[in-house]
Amino acid sequence: MEAAAALVALALPLAFAAGTAERAVQPASTFPEIAIRKGEIQHEWPFSVEEGRLACVDFQGQRIVIFSEPWREDVPQEFGNMTLPRSVIVSANPLALLASLEDRSLYLPFDGLETLIRRLAPFERIGAELCEADAGTQDKKI
């Protein structure tokens, strides 16, 4: 559920700017997500942290895959003084990656956009499977 807070923090500013905040973020169920760890994945790891969560979000009718780092435990996490986890878009679409500009340090260093996209593509497929699995259980009357 930690990814949900980060996903909303990422999506809501865009929704308010578009004037559609009340209907912009509709969870694909309750943000279907999966924990992933560097040593347990067969693909080249694209992230600068050892573990995190992949989640699927329905944002204005588009399914988006997002990776979030775990909640930080090295800083106080008190009400009113929380440090939200960083989150980045997981996509092979270069334009979609612009939404992650602020937290781009969550990606491992890369020598070019092609390298980043090659690393992210398998994780986008994993996230897309989350979206598809959840679509079967989601009420279609949104």
Give pairs for 31-39: CB < 8 Å, separation 24+: 31/1, 31/3, 31/4, 31/7, 31/55, 31/56, 31/57, 32/56, 32/130, 32/131, 32/133, 32/134, 33/3, 33/4, 33/130, 34/126, 34/130, 36/67, 36/123, 36/126
How many domains is the chain partitioned into structurally? 1
**Structural domain includes residue 114:** yes
Residue 129's domain comprises 2-135
Tell me, yes or no, whether 141 lies in a domain.
no
The model's pLDDT over 13-61, given as tens digits with 9 standing for 90+, comes to: 544 445 444 444 443 346 789 999 998 888 999 999 999 999 988 778 7
Name which of 18-27, 61-70, 73-82, 128-137 the model is least confident about.
18-27
pTM of the model: 0.69
In a domain, 142, yes or no: no
94-125 pLDDT, tens digit per residue, is 888 888 888 889 999 999 999 999 999 999 99
Residue 58 maps to a domain:
yes
> Is 111 within a domain?
yes
Is 9 among the domain residues?
Answer: yes
Q: Is 101 a member of any domain? A: yes
